[in-house]
Structure 1
């Protein structure tokens, strides 16, 4: 614990931009806040340029806000001559130069940084203390305690417990409508010709930051309009985006949250994940605002729209974080299917003849964003069917999406999407043929490939790769009760039909960069 007049250094990480944290309630001239842009954070993956710029811009805005509040702030920019490019080196220098007697930091959300700061604190000759980020609904260890002794970790159970604990949409111990989950109402395809609301985009000028990054050797992917940066970079913009979502998108969010349509990259999704994951806004205020809007306008916002959104925030988001802290660091090495292939080259360019993948990847490169079904059932689905090494898939998702931070990316990618955890997060692999993509999107009608063909010229690659996946992994999957029906279908196929399908898949896999 710090004494009243002890010179104290407080570290604020780039995803700890919590304007309402109790740290900032009191002005104390013995406390110095330090924030830093370092190569250890830009270089652990090849990030989208919008992601690097977005984090730096949001960090700088936060530092400016702290200074306006009369807090003492040290901010180290990426190209500053005194930047030693790691947290430990910079902190050691500051502690020495400023005669710091006490060090404090908030719990990092990444296992990697948790280890770095634990080791750093233990190496210090001065006292140190760690604080909660005051952001999440659950603690790091709450999910592990909840499922202790259980073989499976069912998200729905944890979701219901979070609802009860925080009294969200509850009447005593029961959900206010008598029903917990409205997922079955939230799987509609976008009607043909339907144009979703035009997304709210910001136009911040971040050209200076982009120019600074260009002077380094930092490797990035994707595009940016640096004079018209579209993502929120402070709390005011984040709240504006929240209000836009509630007014314009929430009334149809649930119904079309799994829908996909060419050229409509945002649809009715909130795009609040970057603001949430950097903590510029809190999950509680997001949920409260959505519930308030539903209470005030039930005729405009049906309950299934609201519940689907609430479940993503208090259900999946908290659940994935709990799994992360329960299973790391081993989780990052899991590879249930022993997949070893490399990502196709076109994952970095979008230049493929498969319409769904072309649209999703091109969109991701342009906006640093794709919604959850595009990530799960287009890029993720293909990567799993193609036997891509989950390490490769992890790095791609972690780099390309502006909202991707290790704790939420790896559980969704290696777990939910790639089934590399063998069923910790999902009870079955999320794979599909062209039929599902066509059911939930408008991609297939204008595609080079024929969604209905399994083999032969222009047969959709998803169709043969789908059956090849089940055939290849029957030893591991055939006893899974959720997919037994697929093996019944496969086993009833004529041997010649199976052979042709597997040969088609083999041809596509050998020529994957030409698809």
Structure 2
């Protein structure tokens, strides 16, 4: 009996569950570039190009391996525009109604497939280290779902950086060694790739269809096939990993990547296996070519954080991305889409995002995310922005990072306190503050850094919720020690800034 085998654009792995379950001799593989997946948020053109180019190469790889592949290109005149529509078209074409699919990483697609008038069998995506059941078993009965304890279980399960039953070096976490400020210069960069004929065809398509989207399509230098992604991994392990730990939180004008790997997009669409990535990093520690703090920090981001946020996304359910525990309602200002701003840190982070479809985790958390939180921006709009502009953003990984970690909109499921800071943190970890129109040293009055003003404004307006949090007690004690006149001036100046921003003025 012939069945359709759906492979989505972020499931480009030969060992994906649906392909393992299928019969090459009789089943038909369906891959589809569809408008619905490009338009539910205005994706960065580089992101669309990466996925389409990788899909086309994966389809060619499957055909060469003997599979019957029905591939829908975006500009196919018969293209229905949706995943379900293309399944129905291929079902009629092949005279079948049964579909094997690997579970999508977004609730909207899961629900669409479940509602389709076809016999769809969804298989769990077992490319992840923790199954849904393992995460649910871990979460059951816990008062707080903190990543650190989950991470330790993943270390034990994989054996990565373990010395028998103990963590390598005697500690689970070396994060305190990974907070050095920006270096004077960076002596490496991620590996880049020249577009081939397949990629160039996709770039032309994306340029024609999505040239108006936020983001620069060219130059395009991302890997689009597993062999290239493996070369990018080897390059990072050799040249970037040794200093990754020290400077992973640093930000430096003119150095958009520092020692970061840029491998997350490749893992998220299936070009790299996450465990393989971690094993390559561990091997560098074992042979003495990378220090423990760097390797542990890198592995923790993958088997700790990446696995944890996926678990949270499915544990919390379809409505999670729409949570708004702090009732923030202010609209996303135009500066997030490249509009003019006098705040140099935000201008730099957004400009980099526009050019590269990439910013590292501290730029996302402590610059664009921190500002959104202290300014009271609507977390649904913030979530959709992150989902739109970053090349590695898929809802299972992006929503918990944004709604939970960055915006505290889940009310503390992920974070024990909101990640807010004044301008001091950005000044310490970057060179962004030099040359800014605002003065990071000025707390109130002419030229005061908006991060300084909005930090206290946030704490004041949410005092009832947070003043009992032991991790925030010192913040409120500092606020209470200020002269009343100074407090009033800070709040009034912050309100004025927010009013001007909401009115569309350049701030």
If the TM-score is normalised by the length of the shorter chain, which range does it land in? over 0.9
**Distance of aligned partners of 1:473 and 1:100 in 2 relative to their CA distance in 1, 3 Å threshold:** same
Q: Is 1:146 matched up with 2:141?
A: no
- Verify the 8 A CA contact 1:46 1:219 in the aligned structure 2: no
Q: Give the equivalent residue in structure 1 for 2:215.
A: 222
Distance 1:351 1:218, change over 3 A: closer
Aligned to 1:10: 5
Contact 1:158–1:319, Cα closer than 8 Å, also in 2? yes
What is the distance in 1 between the residues matched to 2:92 and 2:86? 10
Q: Partner residue of 2:467?
A: 478
1:419 alignment counterpart? 408
| Cα distance in 2, alignment partners of residues 22 and 153 from structure 1 | 28
Equivalent residue for 2:129?
A: 137
SS in 1 for 2:246: coil
Map 1:383-394 → 2, pairs under 5 A? 383-394=372-383
Higher mean displacement: 403-412 or 100-109: 100-109
Cα distance change of structure 1 residues 72 and 57 upon mapping to structure 2, 3 Å threshold: same
Quote the residue 1:235 is aligned against: 226
Shift of 1:92: 1.4
Q: For 2:164, which of 164, 172, 186 is the aligned residue?
A: 172
Q: Structure 1, residues 455-514: CA drift from partner, whole Å, max 9, x if none?
A: 222211110111011011101111111111100111111110101111111121112241
Which of 351, 359, 374 is matched with 2:348 structurally? 359
Which of 245, 259, 264 is matched with 1:268 structurally? 259
Provide Cα deviations, 1:19-68, integer angstroms capped at 9, x if missing partner: 34466579723111010011211111111111111111111111111111
Check the 8 A contact 1:221/1:400 in 2, yes or no.
yes
Helix, strand or coil: the match of 1:133? coil
Residues 144 and 323 of structure 1 are in contact (CA less than 8 Å); yes or no, is this contact kept in structure 2?
A: no
Describe the SS at the equivalent of 1:10: strand
Establish whether residue 253 from structure 1 lines up as the match of residue 244 from structure 2.
yes
Return the alpha-carbon distance in structure 2 between the equivalents of residues 58 and 282 of structure 1. 15
2:330–2:377 Cα contact (<8 Å) kept: yes
User: After superposition, what is the alpha-carbon deviation per residue over 1:128-152, rounded to whole angstroms, capped at 9, x for unaligned?
Assistant: 4333333100112422221212221
Query: 2:207 and 2:355 mapped to 1: Cα distance?
Result: 18
What is the deviation of 1:264? 0.7
Tell me the SS of whatever aligns to 2:434: helix
TM-fit CA distance, 1:396:
0.6
Distance apart, 1:101 and its partner CA: 5.2
Local SS of the residue matching 1:165: helix
Cα pair 2:5 2:19 within 8 Å, conserved: no
**Contact 1:235–1:280 (CA<8 Å) still a contact in 2?**
yes
Instruction: Give yes or no for the alignment of 1:409 onto 2:398.
Output: yes
- 1:183-202 equivalent positions in 2, closer than 5 A: 183-191=175-183, 193-202=184-193
Question: In the alignment, which of 447, 453, 459 is matched to residue 464 of structure 1?
Answer: 453
Instruction: Give the match for residue 3 of structure 1.
Output: none
Residues in 2 aligned to 1:22 and 1:45: alpha-carbon distance in whole angstroms: 27
Cα distance change, pair 141–112 in 1 and its aligned pair in 2 (3 A): farther
Q: Residue 221 of structure 1 contacts residue 365 of structure 1 at CA under 8 Å; is this kept in 2? A: yes
Deviations 1:144-183 (A, max 9, x none): 2212122210111100011111222123322122211111
CA distance in 1, matches of 2:327, 2:257: 34
Q: Secondary structure at the match of 2:224?
A: coil
Conserved? CA contact 2:403–2:409, under 8 Å: yes
Quote the residue 2:82 is aligned against.
86
- Once residues 447 and 387 of structure 1 are traced to their aligned partners in structure 2, the CA distance between those partners, rounded to angstroms, is 23
TM-score when normalising by structure 1: 0.94
Q: Is the 8 A contact 1:196 1:264 kept in 2?
A: no
Counterpart-to-counterpart distance in 2, 1:434 and 1:196? 28
Contact map agreement 1:141 1:326 (CA 8 A) in 2 = no
Contact between 1:50 and 1:402, CA under 8 Å: does it hold in 2?
yes
Deviations 1:317-357, CA, capped at 9 Å, x for gaps: 00000000000223122111100011111111152121111
User: Is residue 2:24 matched to residue 1:28?
Assistant: yes
Unaligned runs of 5+ in 1: 1-5
C-alpha distance in 1 between matches for 2:189 and 2:101: 40
The unaligned stretches of length 5 or more in structure 2 are none
Residue 325 of structure 2 corresponds to residue 330 of structure 1? no
- 2:152 matches 1:160: yes
Aligned-pair CA distance for 1:216: 4.1
Q: Is 1:510 paired with 2:505?
A: no
Corresponding residue of 1:75: 71
Pair 230,144 (structure 1): closer, same or farther in 2 beyond 3 Å: same
- For 1:244, the equivalent position in structure 2 comes to 235
1:370 corresponds to 2:359: yes
Q: Is the 8 A contact 2:18 2:102 kept in 1?
A: no
Residue in structure 1 matched with residue 282 of structure 2 by the alignment: 291
Superposed, 1:296-315 pairs within 5 Å as 296=287, 298=288, 300-315=289-304
CA-atom RMSD in angstroms = 1.6
- Alpha-carbon separation, structure 2, partners of 1:138 and 1:69: 30
Q: Distance in 1 between matches of 2:225 and 2:273?
A: 13
CA 1:211–1:454: 2 relative to 1, 3 Å = same
Q: 1:36 to 1:341 in 2, by over 3 A?
A: same
The correspondence for 2:38, drawn from 32, 37, 42, is: 42
Residue 308 of structure 2: aligned partner: 319
Pick which of 97-106 and 83-92 moved more.
97-106
From the superposition, tell whether residues 23 and 108 of structure 1 become closer, same or farther in structure 2 (CA, over 3 Å).
closer
Distance 1:270 1:56, change over 3 A: same
Structure 1 partner of 2:50: 54
Q: TM-score normalized by structure 2?
A: 0.96
Alpha carbons of 1:143 and 1:132: their partners in 2 closer, same or farther (altered >3 Å)? Answer: closer
